[in-house]
Structures are given as structure tokens and as C-alpha cells.
Amino acid sequence: MNKCSNCNVIIMDATDVCPLCHQVLNGEKSGCYNMYPDVKDTSRKYRMLENIVLFLSVVAVIISLTVDYMTEGPIGWSLIVLLGIFYGNVMIRLAIVGKSGYRFKTISMVVLAILVLWGIDYLTGNRGWALSIIFPAAILLVDIAILILMIVNSRNWQSYMMLQIFTILLSAIPLILIAVGIIKWKYMALIAMGASLFIFLGTLIIGDRRARNELKRRFHV
């Protein structure tokens, strides 16, 4: 066992530093054993994975930019590669390694995916398919995911009502883009808005008092 000269405590774990003051220990570690599981070991593995992916991403971006510059193609396809690599890195750091809640992860990844796809659409001629089709389709996927989560977590289904309200607000964006003439094909946007509204109204009506109490608690009314 080791003894920290700074904290004056005996440390039973087989560690090189004091868990309290992080001072390096000089004592013998013979007979030491871990009193608790090493929770930092998993974090180190994830950190290593992040660094490896980041290194490979930087290499891929540099190679893509170099080849794209030398070949002088009609579009900057390397920028599309850059967007894809960027999304992949964010997905690893946020969705896989990140410690945020799954609701925040879901919203963040959907919004970021829409932005990345819009960037790809813009780079490939700005035909409008990202905003007209992909954006509403992503909202529909979130609606379906909400329904599945409510069924799986039936004891706490009311906690997903705020996410439903978010999808309603999100589905209003394509309608605004239709009104200003940016989106020409309006059917997917209308379907996305209808699905979001129906899910929320169904939850509010079928959930009855429990649903209303959840809204009162969230909005402090």
C-alpha cells in the first residue's frame, strides 16, 4: 500500500498518484489492489479512439484537398468529403463518447445532418433536394423515434412531450421556406408538420391529466 505524504492518507489501490491531491506517490505498490473499478480506463480508450479518428480524418482531408486541387474537377468534391468527415467526427465525439442525454444527442445529430446535407446539395448545384425532401424526412424520422421511445419507456412517456414540441417548431421551418419561395415542393413539409402536430395532440388528448401536468411543470404555469 502507499501513503500520500501530502494528504497523510493510506491508499489501497494500485495507483501511482493520490486520488485526492493527484500527487505522485513514491511508496511500494506490493500488495495493493483496486478497491473500486477503474472508470477512467474506458474514458482513456474512447479518448484514444477519438485521437485515431481525428488523425485519420486530417490525413483524409489533406489528401482529398490535394487531389481535388490537382485534378481541377467541375466541383470541389473534396469539400463534400470534408463535410462527411466532419459529421463523422462530431457523431463519434457527441453521440458515442459524449455524456449528454440521448434527447440532446438526437436533436443535435438530426440538425447537424440536415445542415451537412444542405451543404452537399449546395455544392452539387443547389437543386433543393436537401431542404425539400431530406429536411422534412428527418423530422418524420424523429417523430417515429419519439413514438418508439414512448412505447418502450411507457412509464415515463410524458417526458417526451418537450421533444414533440421541438419537432413542431422544427417542422415549421420548411413551411416558412415555402412561404418565401425557397422550397418549391411542399408536400413533404406538410406531411412532416401534420405528423408532428398529430403526435402531440394525440399525446395531449390520450394522456389527459398526466400530459397536462407535464406541460404545466415544464412551463411553470
| HSE-up (13 A, CA, CB side) for residue 171 | 29
Q: Is this model's pTM higher than 0.75 or not?
A: no
Asked if residue 185 is part of any domain, the answer here is yes
Asked if residue 150 is part of any domain, the answer here is yes
Asked if residue 102 is part of any domain, the answer here is no
Residue 13 scores a pLDDT above 70 = no
Q: Tens digit of pLDDT for each residue in 25-41? A: 765 544 444 555 555 55
Check if the beta carbon of residue 112 is closer than 8 Å to that of residue 98.
no
153 exposure class (CB count in 10 Å sphere: 0-12, 13-18, 19+): exposed
Asked if residue 4 is part of any domain, the answer here is yes
Asked if residue 93 is part of any domain, the answer here is no
Q: Tens digit of pLDDT for each residue in 156-197? A: 888 888 889 989 998 999 999 899 988 888 899 999 999 999
12: Cβ contacts below 8 Å, ≥ 6 apart:
1, 32, 33, 35
Name the average pLDDT for the chain.
81
Domain total for the chain?
2
Residue range(s) defining the domain that contains residue 12: 1-36
pLDDT score for 196 = 93
